[in-house]
Chain A
Amino acid sequence: MPTDTPAIQAAPRPGATPAIHRDVATRLRSAAGRNGALAALLLLCVVMAVLSPVFLSTQNLLNVGVQAAVVAILAFGQTFVIISAGIDLSVGSVAALTAIVTGYMASTLGVSPVLAILLGLATGMAAGLVSGVLVAFGKLPAFIATLAMLSIARGLALVLSGGVPVAQPTAVAWFGSTLWGWLPVPVVVMIVLGLLAAFILNRTFTGRAIYAIGGNEEAARLSGINVHRQKLIIYALAGTFSAVAGLVLAGRLASGQPQAAAGYELDAIAAVVIGGASLAGGQGRAFGTFVGALVLAVIRNGLNLLNVSSFWQQVVIGAVIALAVLSDTLRKRRA
């Protein structure tokens, strides 16, 4: 890994930390002790700050936020599904389909931009509902049902667009724009949806039911939770979150690409798992997922700053996923 001399000079001098900073440091350290993902993120930030002087600049941190946004939003939707002991492989395809539907409605059919966006969101929700029906009533394993949806949504995106990019209305471009000259909209959308996901998980009936279903579906059913209906809601939520991610991505690219977000489902799953959720269900938090998405973005951003080839980036990301989850597993086993 290439290093440059000025970065080493930028390292903070030891012993120069004021008391208030030490307090923050202690608290972060205790939070990081409980959460493997947060520890990994802090460690990565320290390493990157040492290796690259630009890393901690406001502009670069906002870049990290923008780069994290699409995966983070997909991952928030994925968090609902994974806590319920399911999985959704279709989130990337559904995001692409949403952008195509929105662009097609507005540009080809001349529907008003706001209505086009609503129809795009409805498309995402409908795709999630179909997966939910297959899982809840068809008793298909989530892996199979959403693998089918991955293919169907991608196929529909290609059919509708004819395989070429679709122009987007300016309302969609807003999702990729910047407020007051500095605040990127993708970051705002990511934070709002993150708070929404946390609210749903912690405060709503569906959220509490998600944990119960993931922890023990039979006990949840015998306690009067309508597991079928809740599964429909869970997959519909994942589809709707994917739709928002699709709009953000279309806004950033300024067009609807039928091949957009291919493979993002794996990044989304990785973010959720790095964030401490268990694929066995019953465990996971929106904040953990947020941290997981940031970990992925910081690695990509840092390696770009260090001019590491994108081929090697994939190797590093794979290693970090394994290490983050491994450290979490070891910590839990010791507890």
Chain B
Amino acid sequence: MNATMRRGLETAHTAGVELLRVEGLVKRFPGVTALGGVSFDLRAGEVHVLLGENGAGKSTLIKCLAGVYQPDGGQILVDGHPVTLSTTRRAEALGIATIHQEFNLVPELSVAENVLLGRPPRRFGVVDRRAMYAQAGAALARVGLKVDPRTQVRTLGVARQQLVEIAKALSLEARILILDEPTAALTDDEVDRLLRLMGELRQAGVGLVFISHHLEEIQRIGDRVTILRDGAAVGTVSAATDSQDLVRMMVGRSIESQYPRVRTAVGEDLLRVEGLSSPGSFEDISLTVRAGEVVGLAGLVGAGRTEVLRAVFGADRYGTGSVAMRGNALRRHDVQASIHAGLGLVPEDRKAQGLVLGASVAENLSLVSLRGATRLGIVDRSALDQVARRAVADLGIRTSSIRSAVRNLSGGNQQKVVMGKWLSADPAVLLLDEPTRGVDVGAKVEIYQLINELTASGRGVLLASSDLPEVLGMSDRILVMAHGRLVGELTHEEATQDAVMALAVKEVESSRAY
């Protein structure tokens, strides 16, 4: 046993009694073994991190713990007793609460109704609204979310919806709290608040299982780390382990550079946006993307990055302003015209906007090329299959066949399908909105390599991301947005986290979202 392993065990000793133990857990799906005998344990008052690439089995493991999946082998012990988690309700009754990557919220109901979903306070059989708002308000206060509990969840952004999820889990008085990438959609401030909250819960004796791809978060809050690779636990080490070592254990090889940006000579203007305004979303946006250039769009959640990208692409309406490609003005709000002129958009939410989940890998990859492969209304499907096979090979999409449903792919591979759909159509400028959200370290680097290939061949990229290190690492120029306006531009030499954040918060201090 090496030094780091021993340190991990010492941390565990300082923690409390064992809450949860998983022994040799096996879960098979048709054609894949998602978990091939995983063991780990969780003690009261510790944060146990599950680390692994997408597809390593983390989500499957926690779905077994949440009562969503039934394992095919091994056992789960809560407080030392073997249990069968046949339903999510059974898991909740044992004190296991889970915050999944996909929200389990009812968009049309209020925040309070969602927090207390299925168990609203009742008086004489009728929902007691006053008590419901009071209880929900208390739960919201614990996560520092200042919204009226009567607000419809639908009207909240991704970040605040996630906080509602966390409030909901906390209100279940969970002793075991499982968080599946809770920080993926949060800004730095929100992440800080969440990590502080996790620290408080740990003090209170709650055991936390934490999944994150952000190594710095793991070192800040984690106690022990169990690394999963290809459905097996590679080892359990202290969270203080050097991050290079963690990455090596996770991917089975070392990754040279997290942000392998290769800068190329910048050429002519490709995309020019002038004075774009959309009342209530953004105002007076002017920007240029040149050939061979990655322009980063930074800003807090709600600053208007996604809205700008969608309007530029023609997906949403805008009030005034113009968008031009290579000097030719684009027809307003016309996605087909934008695509024809050489624009592409990898949208923020790949499941809701990027993919037809029930359709095959081939069908998804050929979605944009469909029009080009059509003669007299008839589609050349063998040509499209070839396009799909080439994309699978070029992008290293891990799938058993181009006929597999894209639903069965891991997050990173799904994102590569969305990228591949556009690359097959050969766009001049690709608009990327959160291109690596929920994507593991290995696949992230592969996506960055694709960005490099695009700019090396004279294309331009407009990259919007709430992952600031990513924007800093991959952009040649950085535009900072705050409150729907562009508030500054930095070259990659002068851009630091502090410089960007100083711009991003400057104008919004008086009107903070939270």
Q: Which residues of A contact B (CB under 8 A)?
A: 202-209, 211-212, 215-216, 218-226, 282-283, 335
Distance between Cα atoms of A218 and B357 in the complex (Å): 12
Q: Which residues of A contact B368 (CB under 8 A)?
A: 223-224
Min distance, Cβ B330 to any Cβ of chain A, angstroms: 13
Q: Which residue of B lies closest to A226 (CB)?
A: B336
Q: Which residue of B lies closest to A278 (CB)?
A: B358
Q: Are A212 and B367 in contact (CB under 8 A)?
A: yes
- 4 closest Cβ contacts across the A-B interface? A215-B356, A223-B367, A224-B339, A205-B374
Q: Are A222 and B345 in contact (CB under 8 A)?
A: yes
Give the contacting residue for A222; candidates B335, B363, B366, B370; CB below 8 A: B335
Q: Which residues of B contact A224 (CB under 8 A)?
A: 335-336, 339, 368, 371
Q: Are B345 and A211 in contact (CB under 8 A)?
A: no
Q: Are A223 and B359 in contact (CB under 8 A)?
A: no
Distance between Cα atoms of A208 and B371 in the complex (Å): 10
Interface residues of B in 35-62 (CB under 8 A from A): none
User: Among A203, A208, A209, A226, which residue has the most Cβ atoms of chain B within 10 A?
Assistant: A208
Contact with A along B342-368 (1 / 0, CB 8 A): 000101000011111111000100111
Q: Are B370 and A219 in contact (CB under 8 A)?
A: no
Is B109 part of the contact surface with A, judged by Cβ < 8 Å?
no
Distance between Cα atoms of A282 and B381 in the complex (Å): 18
Q: Do A216 and B378 contact each other (CB < 8 Å), given the known contacts A208-B363, A224-B368? A: no
Q: Which residues of B contact A207 (CB under 8 A)?
A: 379
Distance between Cα atoms of A203 and B367 in the complex (Å): 14
A207-B379, A216-B353, A282-B358 provided; 12 other pairs, C-beta below 8 A?
A: A204-B377, A205-B377, A211-B363, A212-B363, A218-B352, A219-B356, A221-B335, A222-B345, A222-B347, A223-B421, A225-B371, A283-B358
Give the contacting residue for A282; candidates B313, B315, B359, B367; CB below 8 A: B359
Q: Which residues of A contact B377 (CB under 8 A)?
A: 204-206
Q: Are B335 and A208 in contact (CB under 8 A)?
A: no
Distance between Cα atoms of A335 and B381 in the complex (Å): 27
Q: Do A208 and B370 contact each other (CB < 8 Å), given the known contacts A203-B378, A203-B381, A224-B336? A: yes
Min distance, Cβ A286 to any Cβ of chain B, angstroms: 16
Q: Which residues of B contact A (CB under 8 A)?
A: 30, 313, 315, 335-336, 339, 345, 347, 352-359, 363, 366-368, 370-371, 374, 377-379, 381, 421
Distance between Cα atoms of A215 and B407 in the complex (Å): 12
Q: Which residues of B contact A204 (CB under 8 A)?
A: 374, 377-379
Q: Do A225 and B370 contact each other (CB < 8 Å), given the known contacts A206-B377, A211-B359, A283-B358? A: yes
Min distance, Cβ A216 to any Cβ of chain B, angstroms: 4
Distance between Cα atoms of A208 and B364 in the complex (Å): 11
Q: Are B30 and A335 in contact (CB under 8 A)?
A: yes
Q: Which residues of A contact B345 (CB under 8 A)?
A: 222
Q: Which residues of B contact A203 (CB under 8 A)?
A: 378-379, 381
Q: Are B358 and A222 in contact (CB under 8 A)?
A: no
Q: Which residue of B lies closest to A202 (CB)?
A: B381
Distance between Cα atoms of A259 and B59 in the complex (Å): 57
Min distance, Cβ B365 to any Cβ of chain A, angstroms: 11
Q: Are A215 and B358 in contact (CB under 8 A)?
A: yes
Distance between Cα atoms of A218 and B310 in the complex (Å): 12
A-B contact pairs, 9 of them (CB 8 A): A203-B379, A204-B378, A205-B370, A215-B359, A216-B356, A219-B367, A220-B356, A222-B313, A222-B353
Distance between Cα atoms of A211 and B379 in the complex (Å): 14
Distance between Cα atoms of A216 and B363 in the complex (Å): 12
Q: Are A211 and B356 in contact (CB under 8 A)?
A: yes
Q: Which residues of B contact A211 (CB under 8 A)?
A: 356, 359, 363
Q: Which residues of A contact B367 (CB under 8 A)?
A: 212, 219-220, 223, 225
Distance between Cα atoms of A102 and B378 in the complex (Å): 31
Distance between Cα atoms of A186 and B352 in the complex (Å): 43
Min distance, Cβ B462 to any Cβ of chain A, angstroms: 15
Q: Which residues of B contact A335 (CB under 8 A)?
A: 30
Q: Which residue of B lies closest to A227 (CB)?
A: B335
Distance between Cα atoms of A221 and B358 in the complex (Å): 16
Q: Which residue of B lies closest to A282 (CB)?
A: B358
Q: Are A215 and B357 in contact (CB under 8 A)?
A: yes
Min distance, Cβ A186 to any Cβ of chain B, angstroms: 28
Q: Are B359 and A212 in contact (CB under 8 A)?
A: yes
Q: Are B315 and A222 in contact (CB under 8 A)?
A: yes
Q: Which residues of B contact A202 (CB under 8 A)?
A: 381
Q: Which residues of B contact A205 (CB under 8 A)?
A: 370-371, 374, 377-379
Q: Which residues of B contact A212 (CB under 8 A)?
A: 356, 359, 363, 367
Q: Are A282 and B353 in contact (CB under 8 A)?
A: no
Distance between Cα atoms of A59 and B367 in the complex (Å): 47
Q: Which residues of A contact B358 (CB under 8 A)?
A: 215, 282-283
Min distance, Cβ B98 to any Cβ of chain A, angstroms: 22
Q: Are B335 and A219 in contact (CB under 8 A)?
A: no
Q: Which residues of A contact B347 (CB under 8 A)?
A: 222
Min distance, Cβ B293 to any Cβ of chain A, angstroms: 24
Min distance, Cβ A88 to any Cβ of chain B, angstroms: 21
Q: Which residues of A contact B30 (CB under 8 A)?
A: 335
Distance between Cα atoms of A205 and B378 in the complex (Å): 6
Give the contacting residue for A221; candidates B315, B359, B366; CB below 8 A: B315
Distance between Cα atoms of A207 and B374 in the complex (Å): 12
User: Among A220, A223, A282, which residue has the most Cβ atoms of chain B within 10 A?
Assistant: A223
Distance between Cα atoms of A218 and B335 in the complex (Å): 12
Q: Which residues of B contact A208 (CB under 8 A)?
A: 363, 366, 370, 379
Q: Which residue of A lies closest to B336 (CB)?
A: A224
Min distance, Cβ B28 to any Cβ of chain A, angstroms: 13
Q: Which residues of A contact B370 (CB under 8 A)?
A: 205, 208-209, 223, 225
User: Among A202, A215, A219, A220, which residue has the most Cβ atoms of chain B within 10 A?
Assistant: A219
Distance between Cα atoms of A224 and B372 in the complex (Å): 11
Q: Which residues of B contact A221 (CB under 8 A)?
A: 315, 335
Min distance, Cβ A103 to any Cβ of chain B, angstroms: 33
Q: Which residue of A lies closest to B373 (CB)?
A: A205
Min distance, Cβ B400 to any Cβ of chain A, angstroms: 15
User: Among B353, B357, B359, which residue has the most Cβ atoms of chain A within 10 A?
Assistant: B359
Q: Which residues of B contact A223 (CB under 8 A)?
A: 367-368, 370, 421
Min distance, Cβ B406 to any Cβ of chain A, angstroms: 10
Q: Which residue of A lies closest to B381 (CB)?
A: A203
Min distance, Cβ A107 to any Cβ of chain B, angstroms: 36
Give the contacting residue for B356; candidates A206, A226, A282; CB below 8 A: A282
Min distance, Cβ B414 to any Cβ of chain A, angstroms: 12
Q: Which residues of A contact B336 (CB under 8 A)?
A: 224, 226
Q: Which residue of B lies closest to A334 (CB)?
A: B30
Q: Are B363 and A219 in contact (CB under 8 A)?
A: no
Distance between Cα atoms of A126 and B207 in the complex (Å): 64
Distance between Cα atoms of A202 and B380 in the complex (Å): 10
User: Among B315, B345, B367, B421, which residue has the most Cβ atoms of chain A within 10 A?
Assistant: B367
Distance between Cα atoms of A226 and B381 in the complex (Å): 20
